[in-house]
Amino acid sequence: MSANETLKQYSLKQAESALQLAQISLGSAEKLIKLQLDTAKALLEEQARQTQLITGIKSVQQANETRQSLTESNLDNLVSLSRSVYEYATNTQSELAKFTEARITELNKDVITLLDQSAKMAPAGSEAAVTAVKQTVQATAAAVDSLSKAAKQVADFTEASVKSATTATVDAIKQAATLKV
């Protein structure tokens, strides 16, 4: 393969990579904007419902019950929104990690291919240097793979911790609201 063809293929790969990255970014932004619009619509509807509920209060006990009900409803809505945003962010991060990992793998393959082609034209006796560079690239790829796996484990642990903490916080707030009544 000629140098021009190699450069052309490399340029095409980079353009495809840029397009994929743009699609991931735009898809994530689109989901977040839709969530914001849906949340705004739901908030308007909820405010109208709550206003009607408040205007119908006739006693102190009913006011306390309504306050507790509205507090729980608003808290549930806030937690739901937070979970949705967290889920979108986590999914986007996962997509970007997969994208990056694929690009690194592809880059390593391209470097090995380039080294193989260069070795064919290299002077006699340079095989050891080419082999050393190949081994370095392979070792780097293995290290990146190990780091990616470790990062995924940390992300999974963090996600489980956030879910657990959110549930515990919501339960504590609801329990505290119940005790005040």
Give the pLDDT band (50/70/90) at residue 113. Answer: confident
SS (H, E, C) the chain: CCHHHHHHHHHHHHHHHHHHHHHHHHHHHHHHHHHHHHHHHHHHHHHHHHHHHHHCCCCHHHHHHHHHHHHHHHHHHHHHHHHHHHHHHHHHHHHHHHHHHHHHHHHHHHHHHHHHHHHHHCCCCCHHHHHHHHHHHHHHHHHHHHHHHHHHHHHHHHHHHHHHHHHHHHHHHHHHHHHHC
- Residue 90, pLDDT > 60, answer yes
Range of the domain at 99: 3-180
Total domains present in the chain: 1
Whole-number pLDDT of residue 181: 53
What pLDDT is stored for residue 150 in this prediction?
82
